[in-house]
Amino acid sequence: MKNLVKLMAFICTGLLLYPQIHSGLYRLQKGYQAVALVSGISGYEYLKDAHAEIYYAPEDKDYAGLIQRSVQLYYPLLSKDYQLKNPPDVKIILYPEAESMLKNTGSQSGASMGIYYGGVLHLLSPRVWLPEHEEAERMEIFLEQGPLVHELSHFFTDVKSKGNYEIWFTEGVALYFEYKYMAFEWRRDLQEAARSVSMKELMGGFEDIDRALAYRKAFDVVKGLVEDRGEQGLLDMMESK
């Protein structure tokens, strides 16, 4: 009987501690993935501050500084939005060409300004996706239209939900925070067409829908949720999964 009581006490303690254990293990896993991704690059320089570690090629030093200043602005804002206490630092790799970014992330999606993968923000240098502009213009466009807020939102969604989220949801949330902080609204011209996409199609076949249309539908759903239940509704969904 005493052994049974001890066993039940052990099980109950384990159940009570499971969220903390799961959270700790998930952070360790993400930390390992991030270290592995950083070790997959060479010849990069390094910046570190209170919120981020930024790896960049020497020719992108000025852009790395711009990203660092942007992180200093948006990291505290998003951390507060997500109601996170002591979130981990974010690792950011700024790639000098698309090929190295795609190779390190294993992405098959083609050219992209940014990818969130393995707990790391992978960003393509503005030199590459804005070759026709002068440097000052590139910096201005990056601040107004760059991928940082979008990818940083993916990072925080990952941290908050401990990786337990659906693709449509994290994309919709990222587009919502771009809309909130950058006044950027994804493909407003597709708002009417997105109404024809059902929730069943969105949740069950997000990657089978036209990309632009799928993203618009995801944004509309998340924005509608916020209008109905506030941003707390988003956090409730992340924590309930």
Distance CA 216, CA 192 (A): 10
Please give the average per-residue pLDDT across 70-87, as a whole number. 96
Select the more confidently predicted residue: 131 or 226: 226
In 3D space, the residue among 139, 37, 143, 142 whose CA is nearest the CA of residue 91 turns out to be 37
Quickly state the pLDDT bin for 4 (edges 50, 70, 90): very low
The proportion of the chain whose per-residue pLDDT surpasses 70, expressed as a percent, equals 85
Lowest mean pLDDT among 105-109, 130-134, 146-150, 171-175: 105-109
Half-sphere exposure of 126 (CA within 13 A, CB side): 24
Asked if the model's pLDDT at residue 220 lies above 60, the reply is: yes
Lowest mean pLDDT among 16-20, 70-74, 159-163, 190-194: 16-20
Residue at 1: amino acid letter: M
Asked if the model's pLDDT at residue 12 lies above 60, the reply is: no
> pLDDT value at position 37?
86
> pLDDT value at position 13?
41
> pLDDT value at position 2?
52
> pLDDT value at position 33?
74
Asked if the model's pLDDT at residue 198 lies above 50, the reply is: yes
Distance CA 38, CA 26 (A): 18
> pLDDT value at position 115?
95
- The CATH number given to 36-163 is 1.10.390.10
Ordered by start, the domain boundaries in the chain are 36-163, 164-241
DSSP state of 210: -
What is the CA angle 193-195-196, rounded to 5?
Answer: 75
Please give the average per-residue pLDDT across 158-175, as a whole number. 96
Quickly state the pLDDT bin for 108 (edges 50, 70, 90): confident
Q: pLDDT per residue over 118-148, tens digit each?
A: 999 999 999 998 989 999 999 999 999 999 9
> pLDDT value at position 72?
96
> pLDDT value at position 209?
95
Asked if the model's pLDDT at residue 1 lies above 70, the reply is: no
Residue at 205: amino acid letter: G
Please give the average per-residue pLDDT across 44-71, as a whole number. 96
Q: Average pLDDT, whole number, for the chain?
A: 88
